[in-house]
Each structure stands twice: as C-alpha cells, then as structure tokens.
Amino acid sequence: QVQPIESGGGLVQAGGSLRLSCAASGRAFSSYTMGWFRQAPGKERDFVAAISWSGGTTYYADSVKGRFTISRDNAKNTVYLQVNSLKPEDTAVYYCAAVYRYVGLGPTGWGQYDYWGQGTQVTVSS
C-alpha cells in the first residue's frame, strides 16, 4: 500500500500558478495509477487529473484541460500537479489518491481509488 502526502498549496492571485506535489510512502509506487481531486466548500469531491503508473497516459477533467498538467517521478515516489492560469473557481482542497494498476483512462470516480492524502488548500483571489 501507499500513503500519499500532499504539499504545495497556498494563496495565489487569479492568473497565477502553483505546483502541487504528492509524495507517496510505501512500496511499488510505480505500480499505482495516481489521481488528483478537489473539493470546494459545500461541494462534492471532483476529479481533476490522473496519470498511469508508467506516466505514459494522462487524463484531465474538461474544466482544467490546457491549464493543469499532471506528471510523476517514480524514482522520487512523487506525482505533481502544475496548475496555471488559476481562477477563483479553482479554490478548493486538492487531494492526491492512488489505485493499484488501474487499466484504462482515469479513473475519474473517487470511489475507485484506494488510498488518499489529507489534502492541500489552494485559494485563488480575484
């Protein structure tokens, strides 16, 4: 199993950028598909992006395509989310999640992931 730990959140002005990191302790990180989700106050946890265990396949929510980029470094047991051109509606707690050897695009459902981090807050001011 793996334990994701997020970092890199903060307060940023609209149009700004952040790089979120998720360091995963545990074995066989390279066998896990990793995903990012976000949850704004009073709203459901929404899918943001996912990356396959090899890093060769990525998948994004329509709302972040062209602005966010997911990547991973298996040597460092870390997955990243570069978030650019931030908007106030991107304000949320961002969560990192892991699922073992998922086959296919995504997954996009929060229930499909087995391990979750505690989240990192991203606040975008207008």
One-character DSSP codes across 55-73: S--EEE-TTTTTTEEEEEE
Q: What is the pLDDT of residue 79?
A: 97
Q: Indicate if the pLDDT at residue 121 is higher than 90.
A: yes
Pick 71 or 25 by higher pLDDT.
71
Query: Percent of the chain beyond pLDDT 70?
Result: 100
pLDDT bucket at 122, cuts 50 / 70 / 90: very high
Dihedral sign for Cα 110, 64, 79, 57, please: positive
CA–CA separation, 47 and 37 (whole Å): 4
| pLDDT number for residue 104 | 81
Residue 12, burial from CB neighbour count under 10 angstroms (0-12, 13-18, 19+) = middle
| pLDDT digit string, tens, across residues 1-60 | 899 999 999 999 999 999 999 999 888 999 999 999 999 999 999 999 999 988 889 999
Task: Return the SS3 of 31.
Answer: helix
3-class SS at 37? strand
pLDDT on residue 102: 87
